[in-house]
Amino acid sequence: MYEYVKQFEDLGFGMFVHFGLYSILGKGEWVKSYYGIEDEKYEALTKKFKVKKTWAKELVAAAKAAGCKYITLTSRHHDGFSLYDTKGLNTYDAPHSAAGRDLVREFVDECNKAGIRPFFYHTLIDWRNKDCEENFPAYIDYLVKSVEILCTEYGEIGGLWFDGWWDKPTADWQFDRLYAMIRCHQPHAMIINNTGMEEGKIGTVGHPEIDSVTYERGVARPAPKTDRPVAGEMCEVLFDHWGYSAYDLHYKPLPFILEELVKTRACGCNFLLNVGPMGNGSLRPLDAAYLAEIGKWIKYNKGFIYKARPADIKVENAEVFIGEDGAYYAVSVCPTEVLVQHESLGGKLSEVHFPLPIKSARWLDSGKSIKAKRGVYTVTPFNYGINMHLRVARIVTK
């Protein structure tokens, strides 16, 4: 019944995409709120929202190069602007902007061509819709109709990722109604409702129909045990903002991002890495470069991160997984300076300790065997410049 949850866990690594009118201003996705931009002035951005024809193709190609198996796109963010055709609910959408077309349609079509699962982020709050503050039941009617369009117009989707309930935690969101509608049209779609970053709320289920709990910015933990399968997902951003910010150069180091990917998967959670396309839909070259390097690491290591699961084995300075093939995968994550103390450029050997008798072991990136002696396994640490503190050993036990 919940096979689709396991299939989601097998996807392992996804791309989060924050893209909308705010991308034009290049000051992050909350720019309207943070800068107090008046509605009329902000909505005038629709006349400047000129999105290049190949934006979706290029975005999906970048995700594929990174090794992402799914993409979660902001179909509507808190400013209320929709990237999809709202079918008459209003005219505050991409088809009625300078883009002049349904951008979600283009996104889904490119995902399907590339074998990438399309997911939709959708805000629960709306700064533009006055009913959100003045007539909440009427607003919920609008919200449900909006989400129903996403469930009925774009074929089979991977899931829906909601955000914003934390703005009105005591309101009647009618989640029973919303989720029942989704199940009716998309029975195998993941239902995810972001619990935010408030301590005590992070990673909570919140409703029986929730299929995955959420974590943000490096705080992944194992998903809670429930009466039914529930996945976990941790979202992270390359720099400080989620939406495009022209002057935000506070990029996290690439090894840090890779370590987060490994540690998140070691918790049994998916890793959702965010990018913020510019106003025309293109990625910044540096974003694309980061994604390509992540993809190289995944490719070097034979994509073990997708279907491997956390193992009940603890190894110092390593995260240990068990694959569908029954083999163990140990990822060294000790700081480089620790390794340097034991390995010189002259070619000293590193040591990997494993608590079980080993039949065979080898590095995934080089294919070189790991020699075993009394439970201490030694290998040369260097291999074509691959980051040596993020190497993966495949270990077959006796």
Complete DSSP assignment for 190-222:
EEEE---S-TTTTT---STT--EEEEESS---P
Which ranges in the chain are annotated with CATH 2.60.40.1180?
309-397
pLDDT at 204: 78
**Measured between alpha carbons, how far is 340 from 242 in angstroms, rounded to an integer?**
35
User: Is the Cα torsion angle 336, 337, 338, 341 positive or negative in sign?
Assistant: positive
Residue 214, CA distances (Å) to 186, 220, 233, 348 in order: 21, 8, 5, 42
Q: Cβ(371)–Cβ(360) under 8 Å?
A: no
**Measured between alpha carbons, how far is 30 from 106 in angstroms, rounded to an integer?**
25
pLDDT at 376: 53
Q: Where do runs of H (alpha helix) occur along the chain?
A: 3-11, 22-25, 31-34, 39-43, 55-66, 103-114, 131-134, 136-152, 175-185, 254-266, 285-300, 336-342
Q: Cβ(304)–Cβ(310) under 8 Å?
A: no
**Measured between alpha carbons, how far is 333 from 260 in angstroms, rounded to an integer?**
10
Contacts of residue 86, defined as CB under 8 A and 6 or more positions apart, other chains included, come to 92, 93, 146, 149
Q: What is the pLDDT along the chain (398 residues), one digit of tens a residue?
A: 899 999 999 999 999 999 999 999 999 999 999 999 999 999 999 999 999 999 999 999 999 999 999 999 999 999 999 999 999 999 999 999 999 999 999 999 999 999 999 999 999 999 999 999 999 999 999 999 999 999 999 999 999 999 999 999 999 999 999 999 999 999 999 999 998 666 666 767 789 999 999 999 877 888 888 889 999 999 999 999 999 999 999 999 998 999 999 999 999 999 999 999 999 999 999 999 999 999 999 999 999 999 999 998 877 778 899 999 999 998 887 654 434 444 444 444 455 667 788 888 888 888 888 766 555 554 444 443 445 568 888 989 88
Backbone angles phi, psi at 359, to 5 degrees: -85, -45
Output the six-digit token pair for 271: 């890793």
Q: How many CA atoms lie within 13 A of 64 on its CB side?
A: 15
Backbone angles phi, psi at 11, to 5 degrees: -65, -40
Q: What is the pTM of this model?
A: 0.93
User: Is the Cα torsion angle 8, 210, 142, 128 positive or negative in sign?
Assistant: negative
What class does CATH assign to 309-397? mainly beta
Helix (H) or strand (E) holding 331: strand 328-332
DSSP code of 80? -
pLDDT at 147: 98
Longest alpha-carbon distance in the chain: 73
The β-bridge partners of 233 are 214, 270
Q: Cβ(143)–Cβ(182) under 8 Å?
A: no
**Measured between alpha carbons, how far is 129 from 135 in angstroms, rounded to an integer?**
10
Q: Cβ(153)–Cβ(163) under 8 Å?
A: no
Which of 120, 124, 126 lies closest to 144 in space, CA to CA? 124
**Measured between alpha carbons, how far is 214 from 165 in angstroms, rounded to an integer?**
13
**What would be the CATH architecture of the domain defined by 3-300?**
Alpha-Beta Barrel (3.20)
